[in-house]
A and B are shown apart, each in its own frame.
Chain A
Amino acid sequence: MTKKRRLEREATITSTPNVKSSSFADVLEKLKHESGDSQSEGGAKEWPRPAPPTLDDSRDPIFFQQIDVEDAYGYGSSPTLRMFGITECPRHVTDFLPYFYVPVPRGFYPSDLDALKELINSTLDSPDGLRNVQILPKRSLWGYRGDAKPVFLKLTISDPKTLPKVRGLFERGELHFRDLFPEPITTYESNIPFILRFMVDTKVVGMNWIEVPGGKYTLRQASRKVSTCQIELDQNSSLRILSFDIECAGRKGIFPEPEKDPVIQIANMVTRQGDSQPFIRNVFTLNTCSHIVGSQVLEHEKEADMLVDPDVIIGYNISGFDLPYLLDRAKALRVDSKFAFLGRLKGIKTQTKDAHFSSKAYGQRDTKETIMEGRIQLDVLQYMQREQKLRSYTLNAVCAHFLGEQKEDLQNGTPESRRRLAVYCLKVAWMRILPQRLMDKLMCLVNYTEMARVTGVPFNYLLSKGQQIKVISQLFRKANSDDYLVPSYKGDGTDDQYEGATVIEPKKGYYDVPIATLDFSSLYPSIMMAHNLCYTTLLDIETIKRMELVKDVDYVQTPNNDYFATVSRRKGLLPTVLEDLLSARKRAKADLKKETDPFKRAVLDGRQLALKISANSVYGFTGATIGRLPCLAISSSVTAYGREMIEKTKQEVEAEYCIANGREHDAEVIYGDTDSVMVKFGSRDLETVMALGAEAADLVTTKFVKPIKLEFEKVYFPYLLISKKRYAGLYWTKPSHYDKMDTKGIETVRRDNCRLVQTVIETCLHKMLIERDVGGAEEYVKQTISDLLQNKIDMSQLVITKALSKTDYAGKQAHVELAERMKTRDAGSAPSLGDRVAYVIVKGMKGAAAYEKSEDPLYVLENNVPIDTKYYLENQLSKPLLRIFEPILGEHNANSLLSGDHTRSIQIATPTVGGLMKFAVKTVTCLGCKTPLTLKNSRGPNAAVCDNCRPRLGELYQKQLALASTTQVSFSRLWTQCQRCQGSLHQDVLCTSKDCPIFYMRKKSQKDANDSIKVLDRFQNESW
């Protein structure tokens, strides 16, 4: 005890006034405080939210951040919308009815309105289906026909479900009203989702703040009309984010089925947005796998969800797996009546439905949709698939990419590992923060929130729908305020392709001089603004003739031979939308520069990004032929202008910057694509080129209509131009230091390539561009090829992965064949449907097809199966290597990389399985000269060397020692790293993450270490 006291005294002396010295008395004090708190583990006391303040519905305005809007049925006869916000309780909006417009035919008089209404209602067989018909002066969005406003019929319908029926009457021409609608006619604004309709009309955007003035609502009952104020607050309220993950007790080799396999664990994590540490952590586990206990666990889950009441639910692949699984499981256990209420509304069952997602930008994907009223779902997997291009989308790969960490992977585990999951939940729970951290790292939530605000769509739309909905939302908003009506276009999915962007033929090569890049900033939006391209300004020849418009005064003819009215006649809608977006972006960027608070900065950055994306997607919207409102006249005119401008830029630059014009060098445009041109000014000095680039950009800008602006952004130096859309270079924005290495189209992340390709290409580019050492890059390639041929390349570099998506492939495929073979070896560890199969190509019999030569990398390691190095050299490495070396070395010299001295030394592993090996006898050979050792020529059959090599014993011992030390150290380093990664020293490492770069290495090091020790032992039998 004396020692203890002494230590304390020291502490008080050394501690500064700021640092609280934690003497025992202090801790005692703290303990009292702690013990006064509830005894709950993992912050359970913080589950319930603070009670909402009581409100007087006649006076108090309600402020809340709206997070979700949805339509609901079953509240009386009128359709109801619910808005969910952070101040709790869904808001019900009634008195809002769907409607659409049809043009008023000639011969229709206001007196006909009632008759029309009756006719429609009787056709529908519902007396109140069509509520109201009005005649309003509106104009169509499509085309310019002067400023007159023709009249339209506004048909207000009682129920969103009835709307398509009414619309159908018009569109199919089935309405026989005094033959006024003899043939199918276009309806207007009839295909907008009801929720969006509401949001557009009330000017509510996603995730914004809403004020409901006192007197305009009644508490807990259907409110009156919601009036909104669109305060653009630069902050979010603290959203509660629940991150969760489930683990199922799978049976050997079978993907878990909710009907049979219980959920053994659910890990939850709740964070307030902006905090780095979760304030609630809890895990529900199931120790015995009986069904009765299973139901208890599920009840827990329900309880947790309800208590925590998160606003946002995140996870990895939750919408594809976790949520549907939980629901199905509940159904299988017949507890769904208790469990399946994950939404915020009482009495509404949560259900899952299959959804098919198809978008030109994101590809097609089958997903499952689970509707949770009043909660935002953000599946990080979906986010990744949309926003990031990666080699693999497993959580491990994603984490390794963005967080620089590996995640332990226990898939395909033995029953042992499953047991461990259940028992050592603390650690696993810790791991579950990963999606959360990923989300923070990538700012998904913030960016998406801003996107919802900018484009005015509900948050959930961003992940579940494509790009178009965002443009539609903005288009409707703008159109409505200007009395335009958006026609309901029936997409017929024509494959009309129009000419895309132009590419100036690249002058391939390796440029060791600075190459300036001139970019048109927001090219397509600015073209649309500059030339007033819009639906509303679209003209046709007849109109021009009828209205006697004058070319270049009243209208312009685009290079694509379409006609658009000029601003003097009418300002287009799209240009207005774009102007708003771009000026908002400018503002956001300016604010960003001033802002210091990191959270606000993140919000602003998210906003400017959202604005940029929105601006660019407007062009895409007009060009999407299967879209809602394609207008190829606009999109192809835009690209045509773009082509013209690139060409013109090239001419201007080359005309101005030439020796004939008193310049030092002739400038040369070596490449141009879509919105940028690469100019070689000739000077070798970085600063000079930067000055020239800026000057040229300003010069060319003056030649174009405003707001088109050519900007000088960066210099590539050196620059490797391979072909169209394929180049690499060192990116400079300031002369002092380069910013980064930039590569385009050098596809190293393709999954059917092995990692070796990626490594080699990246290293080569690094050596060429950053170290400016082309010779070094060549040498590196030769060394790598030599290593490959000598079997020295790490297995993880050679592994190719493919998903086993279905069993009956038509053609034989390598990974399918392997999966079959693995099943016969050990059904338990064999990959099952949905798994990614990892394989390497091994030497097969002569003439064996490639698919027969696939093999499990672990099996290869264990049995020393020789790798088919020729396959890797010719099918994997050669093409990408030649591609980047050809511009530098020329075709002939580039080929010499693949053959020559370095390819002579070959080492082939001696397999322990297959073929002849059954008959082979192993003999110990001399470590010096490989002579088989016998009693006659050495000190016995387990000696190290033969008698002839004995003088070299020291050298050979040294060599073996170095080898043994290397393998032992790598064994230690690799396995301790895995221990650190799994977060436990006392448990064996069970991870089977095939994406981890050290997975195979660590297995190999184990084998190598064992082998090297045995060899070393042989020296004990020697004399020196």
Chain B
Amino acid sequence: MVLPAAGSRILSKRLPPLACSPLPKPNNNLPSGVVDSFILSGETTKSYSHQFANIYFARLTMLKPVVLKAAETKWKDHRFTLPNIGKPVSISRVLDVVKSQLCYVVGTIYMDMPLKPNVLVDIGKEHWIVAPPSRPKFNSPQDTVLLEDESGRIKLVGEPLMRLRLVTGVIMAVLGVETSAGEFQVVDACFAGMAPQGVTSLRSSYSELEVDQDGSWVAFISGLDISSSDVQPGMDDALDMRLQLLVEYLKGETGGPQDQSFSAQCSALIVLGNSLDIPRKSQDDLKNSKRYNSQTTWDPAPLRRFTRSLQELARSVTVHILPGSTDPAPSTLPQQPMPKAMFGFEGFPESQVFMSETNPVWLDIGAWGVLATSGQTLDDIFKYVDSTDRMAMACDTLLWRHIAPTCPDTLWCYPFFDRDPFVLSHSPSVYAIGNQPSFESELMRGPLGEMTRVVLVPKFSETGQVVIVNTTSLAVQTIRFHATQGWA
């Protein structure tokens, strides 16, 4: 018997009032084209015939006007005007920077890092293609920052750079002077800033909603890591039990009346990747097999267990499932939806409440939508900056208006031809990043009243935590499930 008491939960002091759970329906707040921006369709998009330069070009074209405007506003201040030089001048191309002239210019950051994994070096070794990162961080004191656009690149120097957590691919404006050594001495830097929320700013409705605790809740979960049963049987049972608790909780079958009322209000469960932990046999393992012929072992058990839970869940809440780095989906971003049929939802009556999504994904929930990723974007940034503050990095991506700047330099992505889907034209209400080491949350506010709830969702398999966010008030809570030790 599963003891409900065994699963404790942490809820906010004020509990949401009882209400009928509304079925999610599109509320059309997201600009058209945003919702399915990560879907790859058609021969042209899915093609690998292009090179990566197009993404950078598209990114710069999209963000340059924004950054330039932000820079103009920031640096028109008289304190940046020099007596014998005058006001800072805007330079349109990196190559046109004139020596000894105070100016600002917009471009893409390129970090030259000696420790960055280099395929040319790896190629010398035998196991190279899926070489796992050997170190947690790749930054070093020898890193240099370069700013480039289609005309060329220039080396940036100066102390302000130290304070910024920069990664390759960020669009940034720099104010400074080219020195006689041909380097650009940076005085100040400027990013795009938070993207706006909607064409008609709904400030009034926001403040109303802040008071009103009404509205629906969304649950985020990540890192279920359901693995083959033969790996660690004991661990798995515990995980299975917690998963069962979660299912029952969301179905309103467990917990006190307050819990049940909450679960009734929870309209969607968003699974942020790494649901399955299927060990992937690498090419090298196959090579080393004596049979000189590639063979894979396929254990359907984890998938079957996961499918069972999903089908049960889909009866009460809408389930959005994102692929993650360990899921059976191609590993390049944006990861495309896993085949729905794989989860046995083909022909299933509730198939409209089970959504196999891309990673990352825009979901049309709440005022300005939910932007969710399985965490690879943040994990990759983490490797290349001299900081361990993951929340700050997540907030940075909002200020950069780009959720995955390290694509495609160190984070693998499709070679998009005419757009960069990772650019934020619009700030979401909720920005959830899965598979993080611990739960963190912050409310980001923009200059025009934009508000984004940034949530780092921890791994369920390690913490047993589920994060729930109110899509209107943007309140956030965690619920912890755990099974009693020794109980099996």
Q: Which A residues are within 8 Å of any B CB, using their own CB?
A: 1, 4, 7, 10-11, 15, 19, 21-22, 24, 27-28, 30-32, 34-35, 37, 39-43, 277, 281, 404, 406, 424, 426-427, 763, 783, 786-787, 790, 901-902, 905, 952, 954-955, 957-959, 961-962, 964-966, 968-977, 979-980, 983-989, 997-998, 1001, 1006, 1009-1010, 1013, 1016-1017, 1019-1020, 1022-1024
Q: Are B53 and A985 in contact (CB under 8 A)?
A: yes
> Which one of B149, B185, B412 contacts A972 once the chains associate, using CB atoms below 8 Å?
B412
The answer for the CA separation of A212 and B386 in the assembled complex, in Å, is 59
Q: Are B332 and A985 in contact (CB under 8 A)?
A: no
Q: Are A998 and B123 in contact (CB under 8 A)?
A: yes
Q: Which of A406, A427, A954 has the most CB of B within 10 A?
A: A954
Q: Which residues of chain A are within 8 angstroms of B49 by Cβ–Cβ distance?
A: 1006, 1010
The answer for the CA separation of A1022 and B346 in the assembled complex, in Å, is 10
Q: Are A34 and B180 in contact (CB under 8 A)?
A: yes
Query: 13 other contacts beyond A954-B342, A986-B149, with CB at 8 A cut-off?
Result: A22-B160, A22-B187, A32-B84, A783-B287, A955-B296, A965-B330, A968-B331, A968-B412, A969-B412, A977-B118, A984-B148, A984-B153, A1009-B48
> Which one of A11, A37, A979 contacts B52 once the chains associate, using CB atoms below 8 Å?
A979
Closest Cβ–Cβ distance, residue B285 to chain A (whole Å): 10
Q: Are A988 and B332 in contact (CB under 8 A)?
A: no
Q: Which residues of chain A are within 8 angstroms of B180 by Cβ–Cβ distance?
A: 34, 37, 43
Q: B27 on the interface (CB 8 Å rule)?
A: no
The answer for the CA separation of A77 and B118 in the assembled complex, in Å, is 65
Contact pattern, B 308-348, Cβ under 8 Å of A = 1, otherwise 0: 00000000000000000000111110000001011010100
Contact pattern, B 292-303, Cβ under 8 Å of A = 1, otherwise 0: 111011101001
Given contacts A27-B185, A957-B328, A965-B331, contact A997 B163 (CB under 8 A): no
Q: Which residues of chain A are within 8 angstroms of B158 by Cβ–Cβ distance?
A: 22, 27
The answer for the CA separation of A979 and B415 in the assembled complex, in Å, is 13
The answer for the CA separation of A22 and B160 in the assembled complex, in Å, is 8
Closest Cβ–Cβ distance, residue B416 to chain A (whole Å): 12
Nearest CB in chain B to that of A904: its residue: B292
Q: B24 on the interface (CB 8 Å rule)?
A: no
The answer for the CA separation of A540 and B95 in the assembled complex, in Å, is 77
Nearest CB in chain B to that of A32: its residue: B84
Q: Which residues of chain B are within 8 angstroms of A1006 by Cβ–Cβ distance?
A: 48-49
Q: Which residues of chain B are within 8 angstroms of A980 by Cβ–Cβ distance?
A: 409
Binds A, one of B204-212, B276-284, B474-482: B276-284
Q: Are B60 and A426 in contact (CB under 8 A)?
A: no
Given contacts A954-B300, A984-B148, A1020-B339, contact A37 B412 (CB under 8 A): no
Q: Which residues of chain A are within 8 angstroms of B280 by Cβ–Cβ distance?
A: 958, 962, 965
Q: Which residues of chain A are within 8 angstroms of B95 by Cβ–Cβ distance?
A: 426
Closest Cβ–Cβ distance, residue A1007 to chain B (whole Å): 8
Closest Cβ–Cβ distance, residue B195 to chain A (whole Å): 18
Q: Are B100 and A34 in contact (CB under 8 A)?
A: yes
Q: Are B100 and A37 in contact (CB under 8 A)?
A: yes
| 9 sampled A-B residue pairs with Cβ under 8 A | A959-B296, A959-B298, A965-B130, A969-B130, A972-B332, A975-B408, A986-B57, A1006-B48, A1013-B48
Q: Which residues of chain A are within 8 angstroms of B151 by Cβ–Cβ distance?
A: 424, 426
Q: Are A24 and B52 in contact (CB under 8 A)?
A: no
Q: Are B52 and A954 in contact (CB under 8 A)?
A: no
Q: Which of B387-413 contact A (CB under 8 A)?
A: 408-410, 412-413
Q: Are B182 and A972 in contact (CB under 8 A)?
A: no
Q: Are B148 and A986 in contact (CB under 8 A)?
A: yes
> Which one of A277, A787, A902, A952 contacts B181 once the chains associate, using CB atoms below 8 Å?
A277
Contact pattern, B 70-92, Cβ under 8 Å of A = 1, otherwise 0: 00001001011010110000000
Q: Which residues of chain A are within 8 angstroms of B188 by Cβ–Cβ distance?
A: 4, 24
The answer for the CA separation of A983 and B56 in the assembled complex, in Å, is 13
The answer for the CA separation of A976 and B414 in the assembled complex, in Å, is 12
Q: Are B281 and A972 in contact (CB under 8 A)?
A: no
Q: Are B294 and A987 in contact (CB under 8 A)?
A: no
Closest Cβ–Cβ distance, residue A756 to chain B (whole Å): 14
Q: B120 on the interface (CB 8 Å rule)?
A: yes
Q: Which residues of chain B are within 8 angstroms of A426 by Cβ–Cβ distance?
A: 95, 151-153
Contact pattern, B 29-67, Cβ under 8 Å of A = 1, otherwise 0: 000000000000000001111011100110010000000
> Which one of B108, B163, B342 contacts A1024 once the chains associate, using CB atoms below 8 Å?
B342
Closest Cβ–Cβ distance, residue B293 to chain A (whole Å): 6
Q: Which of B100-129 contact A (CB under 8 A)?
A: 100, 102, 108, 110, 117-121, 123, 126, 129
Q: Are A972 and B344 in contact (CB under 8 A)?
A: no
Q: Are B330 and A985 in contact (CB under 8 A)?
A: no
Q: Are A968 and B330 in contact (CB under 8 A)?
A: yes
Q: Are B153 and A998 in contact (CB under 8 A)?
A: no
Q: Which residues of chain B are within 8 angstroms of A787 by Cβ–Cβ distance?
A: 287
Closest Cβ–Cβ distance, residue A1001 to chain B (whole Å): 8
Given contacts A958-B296, A972-B408, contact A966 B48 (CB under 8 A): no
5 residue pairs, one from A and one from B, having the closest CB atoms: A955-B298, A972-B412, A426-B152, A1009-B48, A986-B150
Q: Are B51 and A975 in contact (CB under 8 A)?
A: yes
Nearest CB in chain B to that of A782: its residue: B292
Nearest CB in chain A to that of B340: its residue: A1020
Closest Cβ–Cβ distance, residue A273 to chain B (whole Å): 18
Q: Which residues of chain A are within 8 angstroms of B108 by Cβ–Cβ distance?
A: 985-986
Q: Are B153 and A983 in contact (CB under 8 A)?
A: yes
Q: B457 on the interface (CB 8 Å rule)?
A: no
The answer for the CA separation of A984 and B153 in the assembled complex, in Å, is 7
> Which one of A31, A987, A1024 contacts B341 once the chains associate, using CB atoms below 8 Å?
A1024
Q: Are B187 and A24 in contact (CB under 8 A)?
A: yes
Q: Are B328 and A35 in contact (CB under 8 A)?
A: no
> Which one of B47, B150, B159, B415 contacts A21 once the chains associate, using CB atoms below 8 Å?
B159
Given contacts A34-B100, A958-B328, A968-B412, contact A977 B119 (CB under 8 A): yes
Q: Are B48 and A783 in contact (CB under 8 A)?
A: no
Nearest CB in chain B to that of A1008: its residue: B48
Q: Are A1 and B77 in contact (CB under 8 A)?
A: yes
Given contacts A41-B99, A281-B182, A989-B53, contact A962 B412 (CB under 8 A): no
Q: Which residues of chain A are within 8 angstroms of B346 by Cβ–Cβ distance?
A: 1023-1024
Closest Cβ–Cβ distance, residue B154 to chain A (whole Å): 8
Q: B177 on the interface (CB 8 Å rule)?
A: yes
Q: Which of B164-192 contact A (CB under 8 A)?
A: 168-169, 176-177, 179-182, 185, 187-188
Q: Are B123 and A971 in contact (CB under 8 A)?
A: no
> Which one of A10, A21, A962, A971 contacts B48 once the chains associate, using CB atoms below 8 Å?
A971
> Which one of A1, A21, A976 contacts B410 once the chains associate, using CB atoms below 8 Å?
A976
Closest Cβ–Cβ distance, residue A297 to chain B (whole Å): 19
The answer for the CA separation of A958 and B163 in the assembled complex, in Å, is 44
The answer for the CA separation of A21 and B334 in the assembled complex, in Å, is 42
Q: Which residues of chain B are within 8 angstroms of A988 by Cβ–Cβ distance?
A: 51, 53
Q: Which residues of chain B are within 8 angstroms of A424 by Cβ–Cβ distance?
A: 151-152
Q: Are A958 and B341 in contact (CB under 8 A)?
A: no
Q: Are B409 and A986 in contact (CB under 8 A)?
A: no
Q: Which residues of chain A are within 8 angstroms of B408 by Cβ–Cβ distance?
A: 972, 975-976
Q: Are B150 and A1023 in contact (CB under 8 A)?
A: no
The answer for the CA separation of A1022 and B297 in the assembled complex, in Å, is 20
Q: Are A986 and B56 in contact (CB under 8 A)?
A: yes
Q: Are A969 and B99 in contact (CB under 8 A)?
A: no
Q: Which residues of chain B are within 8 angstroms of A277 by Cβ–Cβ distance?
A: 181
Q: Are B84 and A998 in contact (CB under 8 A)?
A: no
